[in-house]
Amino acid sequence: MAVLRKLEKTAVEAGNILCFGIDPKPMEDVAGYYSSITDALLEENLISAIKPNYAYFAALGFDGLHALKQIIDRYREKTFVILDAKRGDIGKSSDAYAREAYEFWGADAVTVAPYMGEDSIAPFIKEGKIAYVLGRTSNPGAKDFEELKVGKERVYEKVCAKAAKMGAGLVVGATSNALSGIVKLVGKDVPMLIPGIGAQGGEFDVLKALRGNPFIHRINSSSSIAFACEKKGGSPESAAKKEAEFLNKEIGKRVF
């Protein structure tokens, strides 16, 4: 798949699998703030993807959506762009959401909610794109449904197996011990998007499960990079670079 080659190529060239999650707070110049940080990270080869979160931009109204378009257009040729939109609806609606994500926004990948099943996921699985289906997520409430047992398996295991069979990637949080089991279930060739490292308190050691084919995966960190200056001082750009350097060092110990 061409998209997997792009995913792997950007990681190999940067020498890392770190993804910068962009979850903007209300501020005067969203595009300017995040572009200055992203530029600094890319110049130093500290990230190999960005993940703008649609909800945070939409909450800012039309100015936020305009900023989202500016950011994606600025970086779509420079790195791998994952639109974190968690879409999922009946077939025709999902088809419309897929066109929005890929054709209007121009993202390489989009996150997809699997609750409504195969026909709601299928429109997002297109040549040259990746649908990251929510598998075992990083939030505390994941246990409410994802951990429920259906026979001998948990719901998230069934979701992951189905999504992988369809040719989708998976979202698997670093805040639980599920990652190694999911890799064993679906194999090492299914691309994973892994949130939870950084501010959410995910454990680096769970990332050891990615050894063997690491460059098709992305480890996401958002606010701990974007607002590192609030804890560590310095400019947003310099603090973000220091945080990304730390994350890459810790990820590298476990993955490479």
Q: Catalogue the active-site residues.
A: 86
HEC sequence for the chain: CHHHHHHHHHHHHHCCCEEEEECCCCCCCHHHHHHHHHHHHHHCCCCCEEEEEHHHHHCCHHHHHHHHHHHHHHHCCCCEEEEEEEECCCHHHHHHHHHHHHHHCCCCEEEECCCCCHHHHHHHCCCCCEEEEEEECCCCCHHHHCCCEECCEEHHHHHHHHHHHHCCEEEECCCCCHHHHHHHHHCCCCCEEECCCCCCCCCHHHHHHHCCCHHHCEEEECHHHHCHHHHHCCCHHHHHHHHHHHHHHHHHHHHC
Q: Distance (Å, rounded) from C-alpha 198 to C-alpha 21?
A: 11
